[in-house]
Amino acid sequence: MKLRDGTWSFDSRDLMRAQCPHCTKLSVARELKLPQLQDLLDSFYERPDNLPIRYGNQFEEALEQELLANLGDQIQKPESYDPADT
């Protein structure tokens, strides 16, 4: 989830995480920049090359293709795939 200029946006990984209230709460708290949260998250950081990340990449690509195929010009493909922008 991202909060920019007072507007919340989400991406396909947020849809996958939405099944887990814990992950959703952490995502919102991170965007709200709650004190000390980043230190807590950093303590669990692992290099993003593991099975969940690979699955997430595949899930995201498949969902994006499905959305583009079914919704066409009603959605906009992201300009950047940089993790900081997603």
Residue 86 has pLDDT above 70, yes or no: no
Q: Is residue 8 within a helix (H) or strand (E), and if so which, with residue range? A: strand 7-9
Q: What pLDDT band is residue 15 in, cutting at 50, 70 and 90? A: confident
Q: What is the DSSP secondary-structure string of 71-85? A: HGGGS---S---GGG
Q: What is the pLDDT of residues 65-76, one digit of tens each?
A: 898 899 888 877
Residues 6+ apart with CB under 8 A from 3: 31, 32
Residue 72 confidence (pLDDT): 80
Stated length of the chain: 86
User: What is the pTM assigned to this prediction?
Assistant: 0.42
**C-alpha span between 12 and 28 (Å, rounded):** 15
Residues 6+ apart with CB under 8 A from 4: none
Q: Are 78 and 86 in contact (CB under 8 A)?
A: yes
Q: What is the pLDDT of residues 20-55, one digit of tens each?
A: 787 778 888 888 888 888 888 888 777 667 888 888
